[in-house]
Structure 1
Amino acid sequence: MIARLRRTLSAAVGLRTRVSIGMLSVAFAACIGFALAIYAFVSILQDELQFDTIDRELASLVLDYKHGVPISGRRGSTGWVYVSHSPAHDQSLPAVLQRIANNQYDVVRYHGRQYYAARRDVDNAAIYMMVNVQDVKEFEDRLATLGWATLSVVIVLALLIGIGFSYLILRPVRRLAERLSSYRPGQSNPPIAADYGDRDMRDIAESFDELIGRFDAAIAREKAFTEDASHELRTPLAVALNASELLDGMPDLDERARNRVARVRHACERMQRLVTALLYLARDQQRENETLSDAAVVLDDVLVYQRDAMEANGVELSVEARSTPLPLPDGVIYSVLHNLIDNAVRHTENGRLWVEVTPERICVTDTGSGLPAEALTHIFERQYRTADSPGLGIGLYLVSRICDRQGWSIHADSEPGVGTRIEIVLDSATASRAETEALPRA
């Protein structure tokens, strides 16, 4: 609980605020400590001086009393002297003095003022002395008021100085954050460390340069692998596709062989489109496609490929499709539609499948097995699949990546035993383009 609260506070309070609070805390602690030390010093000094004064005065009074000098009554401007032969029954003795024993000191209030009082017994008499300390207490109060005022001023100054120093201290950090925010993976990025002369910040910047270099190298390797693999796959795919077309044109093939050749051709076409989609995702920047591909036309090709699987699973299909031109290669659109429909067919037996392709959205709904809520939040993650899923967890991840690349939003709803609905909301530019540049369907 404490660790969680600490993490929450660390996330909520910025580094600049923490530096300011730290400096303010140090100044506050120093001021409080200094004020308490001064107050204790003044109190101790005052008590020592007052008690020492009373001791000397009482010693002098005792000598005067022994020599018969009258001492009772007012003595000087700051004290009173009383002599009593019966302190417990002396009505003329102030009541505040009756509780003081021999050689005892006390602080008493008399006529609204504060006094230090002491008692010395000599022969058959008790000598009392009261010294006025009201002025001293008033001085202490003024000193305390001055201390609190000084503390308030110091706190304000410390806060202002802390904010100023934190700004100066964190300025290199802000510059580093701005440089890092402008970093673009895979592009030419000048070294960050060259902008810093301070040794500590240079060490941090050099560490970031090394990390960025490793990122760029990893991205370059991934991009090179994707492009090389896609390039190397295109030639054998073209050969296999041409061979399947030649075989399909042979008149002596029986129906069974012709169906198998058609499946090979469809698989080759699907692989070509998948290669196109992977190349699209491997590009550093999104580039506007020169030609438009109609998602409704691509949908027909997907449904042809999925026809046998739907018949095998007893899936009843309903389609609503309108011309939806998209500035993407048809292989990218094919990858989106194929993965959505294939996922729905594989999880639906003797049920229904609704497919909607319009300029506003692409939506696939099934009455299949459905997904629990805890699995629904992970279906667009790479290699995520449920225990009973026959797939590899790549299809919906690719769909999600393409949506992110295009700025589309994708959302899934599912309920176990009821079915699943996955909807892609296309951007407004796609809808307006469809109204003005609708492509005729074959």
Structure 2
Amino acid sequence: MQHTAHTAVEIIRAKRDGHRLSAERISWVLDAYTRGEVAEEQMSALAMAILLQGMDERETADWTRAMVDSGEVVDLAGLERPTVDKHSTGGVGDKITLVLTPLVAACGAAVPQLSGRGLGHTGGTLDKLESLPGWRARLSAAELRRNLEEVGAVICAADERIAPADRKLYALRDVTGTVESIPLIASSIMSKKKAEGTDALVLDVKCGSGAFVQQRAEAALLADTLISLGTATGLRTSALLTPMSTPLGRNVGNALEVAEAVRVLRGEGPADVTELTLALAREMIDHCGLSGVDPAEVLSSGRALSRWEDLVRAQGGDPDAELPEAAHVRTVPAPATGWLAALDAYAVGVAASRLGAGRTRKEDEVRHGAGVRCLAKPGERVESGQPLLELHTDTPEAFERALAALEGACEVTDGPVDPEPVVLERRTGGSET
């Protein structure tokens, strides 16, 4: 698409001065940037102008459409099952995708879950699944469709042809201090989800110390922006606001989280992971019109576990294989007797990353056995000196850096405390339910 009347500098100045960008200007600049005609420093300046001046609802929708149009859209037409997906804004110990995808498939939907890798203190679904010997993250379009037809679910890496403008812009925002822009966050998420061809989307928008967006009001704004974008692009969308001040579940780290996800599928996992999975499953099933299906019954019946095994095998993995285990384990004792009132998700996530579970640069390799096990969670009583955390690593010299990250991460009080609810609120576009 050629719009020779425009220049990058003109568009940068317009946004810098607080003007609304037209759909044509947005389309031109993202197309030209994808093709390399708009320089990285020019897009950096535009991203900063957007961060400072914002974009209104219409601009954000136009920006999202232009990013979708920069690449290909997965064609899921003709599938016998209704399609639905879930997106989490990320957190510590968030292995929900591993349980939710096979569960919703076992309920009768098709779930095309395009996932990513971890960076910093948050884990990535693909890194977790690669703990399973032989499992493949990359699938051809034909394989993706076949797995959706035969298994009802796929968890894989996004094709490089999906929203390439977002792929370039995402990397640029990371190094230019423009990650926090709500319109840019929302359009990045929704362009990929729209391009993957699903009919409906449920969002898990997290807030708290371990979340991308820490303040609840900001998380609600992000949820509403995402829902508005979904509506504008023809995607049935709703969101749950969920807390991320404490790690989700008890295991943080790739193979550790896969093991915990399998325990949830067997009906033996932590209550918070099970409860949030079921809440998200009900939202997804509702969007698909499968209202007569009870995901709790499907989970307890073992059908979701069977579907998990099918999903893993369909992508070359062995669901019965031994998972990697770290060579070295050290425990962290409780500092006092009382009730555990807080266990900081961010600190635990950083510690897990330093032990080898995460990466600080995209090219870093993860150690699949590394991570942290939370032997107690907020709301539980602890005795001074009892094991509170268990650190797992292949590189024992990493223990000291992990312990430094955990300084002050837990708080013990004299009286009982109530843990946070698993779901803070449900949002359906500017409304709370």
Mark yes or no: TM-score above 0.5: no
**Greater CA radius of gyration, 1 or 2?**
1
The alignment's TM-score, normalised by the length of structure 1, stands at 0.22
Q: Flag the structure with more relative contact order, 1 or 2, with Cα contacts below 8 A and sequence separation at least 6.
A: 2
Larger helix proportion, structure 1 or 2?
1
